[in-house]
Amino acid sequence: MNKGLPTWYETVAKSIIANLEKRRMEGSYAASAEEAKRKVVAMISEGSTVYRCGSMTVADIGLWDEIRKIPGVKLIDPYVKGISREESLKLRCGGMAADFMVASTNAITLDGKLVNLDGMGNRVAALAFGPKKVILVVGMNKVVPDLESAISRVKHLAAPPNAIRLNMETPCVKTGLCSDCRSPQRICNVWSIIEGQLVKGRIHVILVGQHLGY
């Protein structure tokens, strides 16, 4: 296999991890999604509560099934099929007090800033405050040079496919392009930029040497 991309991923990941540490966050590198899954499972203690936030990365790699197998773990899952909107909102509130939150980030800059955009805001709220430990699984395709590129990535490459996935009635679903709509179903409502943590090590980013999520 051509070593160019895997070597680049690992080299850049090392530099981002060093920058995360300067921001009182933690980071590690996994060459594959399988390795990332093992790392996440090893970090979650038996009997703990885990808050599920919207993440195609985590769902696509089958991580929720692995987390469910950890003895005694209670998954707080507002995405369970068949529950009412009220029940889902209640679970989103309950997730704020969880021991762990598992998600991804919409973008990460080379100097270690985490950039996210939500429709409702529960994910960005929990990233900022609430769950005791936040574990983020992040494909190297989400790495961007700086904040400006991060915002552009999220608006143009992450939000439209998400709106399509969610069957929203927004212009980007038809055109594939963001027109900064004012649709009632707009999914781009709440931004967050995480530049550091007061509680050292609360956020752990696992950078994965693969293209994951969007």
Which residue among 49, 122, 170, 210 contacts ligand SF4 (CB under 6 A)? 170
Q: Does 67 bind ligand SF4 (CB under 6 A)?
A: no
d(CA 174, CA 41): 39
Residue 72: φ, ψ to 5°:
75, 0
Q: Does 180 bind ligand SF4 (CB under 6 A)?
A: yes
Return the sign of the alpha-carbon dihedral for residues 73, 136, 16, 13. positive
Q: Does 106 bind ligand SF4 (CB under 6 A)?
A: no
Beta bridge partners of 75: 50
Q: Does 188 bind ligand SF4 (CB under 6 A)?
A: yes
Q: Could you tell me how many residues of this chain bind ligand SF4 (CB under 6 A)?
A: 14
Which residue among 16, 172, 208, 212 contacts ligand SF4 (CB under 6 A)? 172
d(CA 49, CA 97): 9
- The rounded radius of gyration (Å) of the Cα atoms in the chain is 17
Q: Does 116 bind ligand SF4 (CB under 6 A)?
A: no
Query: Alpha helix locations (H) across 96-204?
Result: 122-128, 147-153, 159-165, 171-175
d(CA 197, CA 203): 8
Which residue among 50, 178, 203, 208 contacts ligand SF4 (CB under 6 A)? 178
Q: Does 159 bind ligand SF4 (CB under 6 A)?
A: yes
Q: Compute the residue count for the chain.
A: 214
Which residue among 136, 154, 187, 205 contacts ligand SF4 (CB under 6 A)? 187
Which residue among 151, 186, 190, 202 contacts ligand SF4 (CB under 6 A)? 186
Binding site for ligand SF4 (CB under 6 A): 159-160, 163, 170-172, 178-181, 183, 186-188
